[in-house]
Structure 1
Amino acid sequence: MSSSSNPRTALATQLARRRPIDVPGADSGDSPGLKRSLGLWQLTMISIGATLGTGVFVVLGTAVPMAGPAVWIAFIVAGVTAMLSALSYAEMAGSVPVSGSSYSYAYATLGEGLAWVCGWCLVLEYAVSVAAVAVGAGEYVNDALGVFGWTLPQALVAGPDGGGIINLPAAAIVLLATFLLARGTSESITVNTIMVVLKIATMLMFIGIAFTAFNSGNLEPLAPMGTAGIAAAASRLFFSYIGFDAASTAGEEAVNPRRDLPRAILLSLGIVTVIYILVALAAIGAHPWTEFTNNGPTLAAILDEITGTPWITLVMAIGAVIAIASVVLTVLYGQTRILMSMARDGMVPRVFQRISAKSHTPVAGTLIIGIAVAITAALIPLGELADATSIGTLFAFALVNLAVIYLRRTRPTQARTFRVPLYPVVPILGFLCCVGLMISLGTSTWIVFVIWMAIGIVWYLAYSRKHSVVGRLSAEEYAQAVRAGEAHAATRANEAE
């Protein structure tokens, strides 16, 4: 898609312009392309890698005081909300299989204005969630070192309550993931697959051992803080499901994106939800909920209580660090692909779209994001990061549900490899659940979100509007691009029949 030096498009018109994403090669850019090498297994591992671990290794301790023993119900509420949106993601991934996730879906359906808002939320979701997850690494590194009688200085750990000065393990994990991603996608995905298998095995080990010490009395009273506590915990725990959409950022690197992306999204979320519920029940059953705080106990500490066996504690702690590293690796991967798509559209600087001819990865963008996230992870506590990430994610998910409704109404014959069941009930419920969880988040989180959106508006008006590829097209060029996109979509729909 070429841009011209036509007079600037009126702001209202530009905000409403949709990206004709069905035009072949529209995402190619000027640099070498990404390499298609990912099948269903690898895509599923990306989503599991980006999701599994945060709920039980990082934010479980902060959610239990909110909901009490009913924290497992809060996991279900958050999981159902995520599943409703996952179904919408699956349909969009099968309809618009490109890099960029919900940003690209919004651009193709809701227009440049909402697409920018969605993309800005994704920057918050992915970059900040990487930092938030990495923050939890310090405690588990100390658990592992404690088996040998060692410990990191408190100043170099900075736990979830911000008790230290700098979180060195968090920064180290982010920088290692950045280096691996810059080397190449195949190597990164292979390492991620190994880490996912190991962390699933670690969680199954915890479930098996913790249930041997299960005390049903620990589940009473079930909901001491009532439904309000469960809702608040569900909003916090929604952070645990962030990442199931990571496979949707790999649209240009999937061998068969239309078939495999929807399957990978739904399969990964189903696996993660079951494991989360079992781990939460096992943890509460084995340890009184009143003793859970922002500082623990960690899952490794619970196993140490039950078994008194140092090697089991060591295995659990190492498994937790691996789980956190896997999340960091795959979510950082997704962030670089989203920014690459936004750079191609002129929303952010072009440096993020440059792909190395040697590694077939956006090396420059990966290094910039990795260093920025490492600094954030090292200096900012978990609680503020987790809630800020959740609100941005919920907003983006809400837009995806709206995108499904729009595309069904405007392109009923669009080629789709997956269709949301019970349409339009599911996307409407998905939208309402996301809005409901957003409302239940605290005032301070909303203040951060509003400030973030204000910064985004300033960026759009100062930079993105002037550099937007779609916005710089004349009315005639834009109409031609839309017609070409519709013709290509019609051809693809006929081929699918």
Structure 2
Amino acid sequence: MTWFRRKPLADLTAVAEEKKLTRALSAFDVTLLGLGVIIGTGIFVLTGIGAATYAGPGLMLSFVLAAITCAFVCLAYAELVSILPVSGSAYTYTYASLGEFFGWWVGWGLVLEYSVGASAVAGGWSAYLVGILHAGGIDLPKSLTAVPHDGGIVNLPAMLIVLFATFLLVLGIRESAKVNRVLVLIKIATIFLFIFLAGPHVDPINWEPFLPFGWQGVAAGTGILFFAYLGVDALATAAEETKNPKVDMPVGIMASLIICTILYIAVSAVMTGVVPYPQLDTAAPATYVLEYIGSRAGSAIVGTGALCGLSTVLLVMIYAQTRAFYAMSRDGLIPKGLCKIHKKYHTPHIITMIVGVVVSLIAGFTPIHIVAEMCSAGTLFAFMCASLGVMVLRRVYPDVKRDFRCPAVYIVAPLAILFCGFVFSQLSAHTIELFISWSILGALIYVFYSRKHSVLAKAHREELQLGNVEIEESMK
């Protein structure tokens, strides 16, 4: 039963009340943070690959299916944030509701999510850089800009941007709300510029057939692009830095989801309407579409905006990865030495550098569609556990005040689990096998290390020792 020991709600509440982090974010800031994290690889990279390989013009419906699934999940997340306004996102929620092993499993999945997610972002960043340089008459050798699967040797720009982001994070770079506002505005302006330039060239004929891969293709497209909504989980890590997390977080989460979905559908409609979908098999579809219609200047501007957007997403993902490790280290599930703080920069430099090196290697040698699917698998699993957790907490802590209550929770949460389970089932067999292998590795680590070294385990042993002492004294 020690596998299912829950982290006490009182401990989490105490952490939230310590207020070690500055509460400076409003609901508007949270919404912009959501746009900053969610608008990235999904809209600038995976729209092209998803249309060409999986869904064709039906990718628009893939985004709708993903949005409906995520809407159910967001309602569950909103209640979880209102009752547990602390960092750690799905890991913390699961630890408090389903118990330590499931909390570890989700945390181990978050490691997978953020690592491969950051790698996918880096791959997209590299593709846009190559496209911008090509528009300026500079062509980098394919051997140094493509992974072996795509005919190259290594994707060097992707590796370098990851290492540079890691270097900045080691130095202590923080994303402020003011800077994020500017960057989000740049990204949104880039999207509207793309629609403005490419929109008049839409030819409805390119939308026929609308479902070239059938409904199966729509579902498969949802599977590969779903990791774009990983931002919902990353957004929940800002709870301790929000002025009124029990109100601002639910509003920000739902608002960012709605806005991002509208933009995703609009961009995918324009892309598939301008260029026949088989030709969109590129990691830089926005610049490709503009070059297709002869707008080289527009391609360079949009590509530059995409680079800015993807850079911030990359930073946030690697930073969120260290946050996940931090939460697990605080609970004793991984060695605390890995998250040791640098004396000068006051950052967890060791784990940041380890994460940076691993992410750079994945980005340099792994095809982006495989990376995206792996990230979607981890995201969907975390969402399912969080949705189950909100129902458990209703039973375990029925009297705890909830400033936001998920409407019809025993309908909405099961629907979230069913929809996530369906999308998960549409991932490739290879991806599911890799996720199972990753989970088995995580289970072994938990059995042989984490279960014995967790803070709750140590507290339990101390209670037993104290109890034995009291029994011996009473017998005397």
Q: What's the TM-score, normalizing by structure 2?
A: 0.91
CA deviations on 1:230-279 (whole Å, 9 max, x unpaired) are 11111112122221221211233334332322222222111111110000
Q: 1:164 to 1:194 in 2, by over 3 A?
A: farther
Deviates more, 1:414-423 or 1:98-107: 414-423
Residue among 267, 270, 274 paired with 2:255: 267
**Map 1:229-244 → 2, pairs under 5 A:** 229-244=217-232
Q: Find the aligned partners of 2:298 and 2:424 in 1 and give their Cα distance.
A: 39
Residue among 302, 310, 315 paired with 1:324: 310
Does 2:213 align with 1:228? Answer: no
Cα RMSD of the aligned pairs, angstroms, is 2.5
Shift of 1:37: 4.0
Does 2:411 align with 1:425? Answer: yes
Q: 1:290 to 1:128 in 2, by over 3 A?
A: closer
SS of structure 2 residue aligned to 1:473: helix
Letter in 1 for 2:193: M
Deviates more, 1:190-199 or 1:139-148: 190-199
Does 2:105 align with 1:117? Answer: yes
Q: Find the aligned partners of 1:373 and 1:358 in 2 and give their Cα distance.
A: 25
Q: 1:95 to 1:356 in 2, by over 3 A?
A: farther
Q: Which residue of the partner structure matches residue 483 of structure 1?
A: none
Residues 160 and 382 in structure 1, CA contact (< 8 A), matched pair in contact too: no
Residue among 15, 34, 37 paired with 1:50: 37
Deviates more, 1:346-355 or 1:240-249: 346-355
Does 2:431 align with 1:445? Answer: yes
Letter in 2 for 1:385: V
Q: Which residue of the partner structure matches residue 96 of structure 1?
A: 84
Residue among 120, 125, 143 paired with 1:137: 125
Which runs of 5 or more structure 2 residues have no equivalent in the other structure?
467-476
Q: Find the aligned partners of 1:34 and 1:363 in 2 and give their Cα distance.
A: 19
Q: Find the aligned partners of 2:354 and 2:369 in 1 and give their Cα distance.
A: 24
Q: Which residue of the partner structure matches residue 245 of structure 2?
A: 257
Q: Find the aligned partners of 2:250 and 2:330 in 1 and give their Cα distance.
A: 24
Letter in 1 for 2:399: T
Shift of 1:352: 4.7
Residue among 12, 24, 27 paired with 1:40: 27
Q: Find the aligned partners of 2:86 and 2:137 in 1 and give their Cα distance.
A: 50
Aligned length: 463
**Map 1:180-199 → 2, pairs under 5 A:** 180-184=168-172, 186-187=174-175, 190-199=178-187
Shift of 1:70: 0.8
**Map 1:327-346 → 2, pairs under 5 A:** 327-346=313-332
Q: 1:299 to 1:256 in 2, by over 3 A?
A: same
Shift of 1:93: 1.1
Q: 1:289 to 1:76 in 2, by over 3 A?
A: same
Residues 44 and 284 in structure 2, CA contact (< 8 A), matched pair in contact too: no
Q: Find the aligned partners of 1:175 and 1:318 in 2 and give their Cα distance.
A: 20
Q: 1:173 to 1:117 in 2, by over 3 A?
A: same
Residues 147 and 364 in structure 2, CA contact (< 8 A), matched pair in contact too: no
Residues 290 and 296 in structure 2, CA contact (< 8 A), matched pair in contact too: no
Q: Which residue of the partner structure matches residue 64 of structure 2?
A: 76
Deviates more, 1:138-147 or 1:175-184: 175-184
Deviates more, 1:99-108 or 1:313-322: 313-322
Q: 1:429 to 1:422 in 2, by over 3 A?
A: same
Q: 1:24 to 1:312 in 2, by over 3 A?
A: closer
Q: Which residue of the partner structure matches residue 5 of structure 1?
A: none
Residue among 364, 367, 377 paired with 1:391: 377
Does 2:198 align with 1:210? Answer: yes
Q: Find the aligned partners of 1:401 and 1:94 in 2 and give their Cα distance.
A: 14
Q: Find the aligned partners of 1:127 and 1:174 in 2 and give their Cα distance.
A: 11
Q: Find the aligned partners of 1:371 and 1:415 in 2 and give their Cα distance.
A: 43
Residues 46 and 330 in structure 1, CA contact (< 8 A), matched pair in contact too: no
Q: 1:251 to 1:160 in 2, by over 3 A?
A: farther
Q: 1:173 to 1:39 in 2, by over 3 A?
A: farther
Q: Which residue of the partner structure matches residue 154 of structure 1?
A: 142
Deviates more, 1:412-421 or 1:401-410: 412-421
Q: 1:193 to 1:270 in 2, by over 3 A?
A: same
Residues 250 and 337 in structure 1, CA contact (< 8 A), matched pair in contact too: no
Q: Which residue of the partner structure matches residue 473 of structure 1?
A: 459
Shift of 1:345: 0.5
SS of structure 1 residue aligned to 2:402: coil
Residue among 275, 278, 290 paired with 1:290: 278
CA deviations on 1:85-109 (whole Å, 9 max, x unpaired) are 1111111111111111000000111
Q: 1:352 to 1:49 in 2, by over 3 A?
A: farther
Shift of 1:73: 0.6
Which runs of 5 or more structure 1 residues have no equivalent in the other structure?
1-12, 481-497
Q: Find the aligned partners of 1:259 and 1:109 in 2 and give their Cα distance.
A: 21
Task: From the two aligned structures, give the one with the greater helix fraction.
Answer: 2
Q: Find the aligned partners of 1:44 and 1:368 in 2 and give their Cα distance.
A: 31
Residues 41 and 120 in structure 2, CA contact (< 8 A), matched pair in contact too: no
